[in-house]
Amino acid sequence: MQLPFLHDQFLLNPDITYLNFGSFGACPKPIFETYQNFQRELEMEPVQFITVNGLRYLATSREALAKYINVEPDNLVFVTNPSYGVNLIAKSFPLAPGDEILSTNLEYGACDRTWNYYCTKAGAKFVRQPITLPIVSKEQFIEDFFKGLSPRTKAIFISHITSATALRLPVEEICARAKEKGLITFVDGAHAPGHIPLDLSKLQADIYTGAPHKWMMTPKGCSFLYVKKAFQAMLDPLVVSWGYGNPSFAHSQFQDYHQGQGTRDFSAFLTVPKAIQFMEEHQWPEIAKICRALVQKNVDRFCALLGTKPTSPVGDDFLVQMAGIPIGTTEPEKLKQHLFDTYKIEVPVMRQNTNVFLRYSINAFNKPEDLDKLHDALKETAERTSLWKQA
Ligand SMILES: Cc1ncc(COP(=O)(O)O)c(C=O)c1O
């Protein structure tokens, strides 16, 4: 099966080999046009847009997103990014001295920082439970994770798909087990929407944040926070504004507190229905399958070049449209910049704990040759520089 090579649908610079959809997704032209149309409408009549029509579009967009991830629209609010969602929860979470939040040592650095900040303030502890790499099975992962459980654990926080290691984690099993133990479950699904099928009614996550601005390809600044009804009342607004204590405002405290902020351009939130339509028109599940196959097919090849081993079994359980290949370098930032400056390849080289990972992402605009180009560039870099060495 061939990748559809939809490069002409995107605004991406054709001179760049873009292998970093994981950090920042790219917005296809029809979705970007919809975004700009909303912005134009805003500027043509700001009052009507911000106080009347825009709010109607916002409700329509929230309903479309709720249907797409199978939740009640009222349990969903748009946020600018998952960082905002994680901050909102961590700031309000009722932490007492000695409490623990159980997580892994594979989480996104900004989220580690957020939890550390609020846990330290409360005298609580953010537990980055060490996960043994390579992961050999879901069962072993789950066992490793729950070794971090203690009588003081109040909640778990875990990525659906990790950042540097690009691993899809067994959050279904983890959340089910955590709920049996009476813990609050919070899943960081920044990479999940548009990347893997997402049915939040089946996943026992009390709280879930996701980023349509990555794999759903909306413009930047479009993300969501889902919170089960029972946990909504504990959440303070991050920005206190007209939505607070205002009986004449919208319809629920959850929406009012977190949606009703000061003046801002919320056009990116409104593009979700167009993004869903775009994915439907282009048979996205088929495209995702082809991308995934290409990602997986190349793992052993890159590991052989870099002299390292895959961080998990190579298959659908752990790998989707990204792979994080361990690489022997002490200068990841320089290596990343070298690949960009010399070969025009956009690919991240990321630290996680004491390891470094080269993470490639594949989407509809990529060609198999893009990974050949990365392979050859790395080979030549090793021959000409000391930026990385076979491990
Ligand atoms: C796993 C994970 N969580 C959270 C985030 C934060 O996303 P944002 O920068 O959009 O807030 C990222 C960003 O890449 C991520 O990879």
Q: What pLDDT band is residue 12 in, cutting at 50, 70 and 90?
A: very high
pLDDT over 80 (residue 2)? no
The string of DSSP letters for 151-198 reads: TTEEEEEEESB-SSS-PBP-HHHHHHHHHHTT-EEEEEETT-TTTS--
Condensed to tens digits (0 to 9), the pLDDT of residues 325-375 reads 999 999 999 999 999 999 999 999 999 999 999 999 999 999 999 999 999
What count of residues does the chain have?
391
Distance 115 CA to ligand 1 centre (A): 14
| Cβ(155)–Cβ(186) below 8 Å | yes
Distance 44 CA to ligand 1 centre (A): 33
pLDDT over 90 (residue 383)? yes
**284-297 and 299-306 helices cross at what angle (nearest 10)?**
30
Distance 386 CA to ligand 1 centre (A): 31
Q: Which atom of ligand 1 is nearest to the CA of 107?
A: 1
Q: Given the structure tokens 């600018």, which residue do they identify?
A: 80
Q: Which atom of ligand 1 is nearest to the CA of 163?
A: 16
Tell me which H or E stretch contains 325: strand 322-326
| Cβ(89)–Cβ(216) below 8 Å | no
Condensed to tens digits (0 to 9), the pLDDT of residues 217-261 reads 999 999 999 999 999 999 999 999 999 988 877 679 999 999 988
In a 13 Å sphere around the CA of 381, the CA atoms on its Cβ side amount to: 28
**How far apart, in whole angstroms, are the C-alpha atoms of residue 220 and residue 311?**
30
Q: Which atom of ligand 1 is nearest to the CA of 82?
A: 11
Tokens of 331: 């200068």
pLDDT over 70 (residue 265)? yes
The string of DSSP letters for 239-272 reads: S-STTTT-TTS-S-HHHHHHH--SS---GGGGGH
Tokens of 350: 């990321």
Distance 248 CA to ligand 1 centre (A): 35
Distance 62 CA to ligand 1 centre (A): 21
**Cβ(362) – ligand 1 distance below 6 Å:** no
Distance 82 CA to ligand 1 centre (A): 6
Question: Among residues 256, 276, 239, 278, which one has the least CA distance to residue 63?
Answer: 276
In a 13 Å sphere around the CA of 342, the CA atoms on its Cβ side amount to: 16
For residue 166, the one-letter residue type is A
Q: What percent of the chain has pLDDT over 70?
A: 99
Q: Which atom of ligand 1 is nearest to the CA of 160?
A: 1
- DSSP β-bridge partners for residue 17: 345
Q: Given the structure tokens 């700031």, which residue do they identify?
A: 91
- Considering Cα of 205, then 193, then 352, then 362, what sign does the dihedral take? positive
**Cβ(363) – ligand 1 distance below 6 Å:** no
Tokens of 148: 């971090």
For residue 285, the one-letter residue type is P
Distance 213 CA to ligand 1 centre (A): 10
Q: What is the pLDDT of residue 83?
A: 98
* Ordered structural domains, the chain, with CATH: 7-29+278-384 (3.90.1150.10), 32-271 (3.40.640.10)
Distance 385 CA to ligand 1 centre (A): 32
Alpha carbon 48 to chain centroid distance? 33
Distance 63 CA to ligand 1 centre (A): 24
Q: What is the DSSP letter of 236?
A: P
| Cβ(351)–Cβ(359) below 8 Å | no
**Cβ(108) – ligand 1 distance below 6 Å:** yes
Mutate to test the pocket of ligand 1, among 163, 195, 224, 351 (most ligand atoms within 8 A of CB): 163
Mutate to test the pocket of ligand 1, among 27, 81, 86, 218 (most ligand atoms within 8 A of CB): 81
**How far apart, in whole angstroms, are the C-alpha atoms of residue 156 and residue 152?**
12
| Cβ(326)–Cβ(309) below 8 Å | yes
Mutate to test the pocket of ligand 1, among 20, 23, 83 (most ligand atoms within 8 A of CB): 83
**Which residues are CB-neighbours of 8 under 8 A, at least 6 positions away?**
none
What are the residue ranges of helices labelled H in 2-137? 29-44, 46-48, 54-69, 82-92, 109-122
Mean pLDDT of 134-155: 98
Q: Given the structure tokens 């650095």, which residue do they identify?
A: 109
**Cβ(327) – ligand 1 distance below 6 Å:** no
**Cβ(83) – ligand 1 distance below 6 Å:** yes
3-state secondary structure of 131: coil
**Cβ(159) – ligand 1 distance below 6 Å:** yes
Q: What is the pLDDT of residue 192?
A: 98
**Which residues are CB-neighbours of 94 under 8 A, at least 6 positions away?**
234
| Cβ(379)–Cβ(321) below 8 Å | no
| Cβ(256)–Cβ(239) below 8 Å | no
Distance 287 CA to ligand 1 centre (A): 23
Pick the range with the lowest mean pLDDT from 85-94, 250-259, 375-384: 250-259
Q: Which atom of ligand 1 is nearest to the CA of 84?
A: 11
Which residue CA neighbors atom 7 of ligand 1 most closely? 82
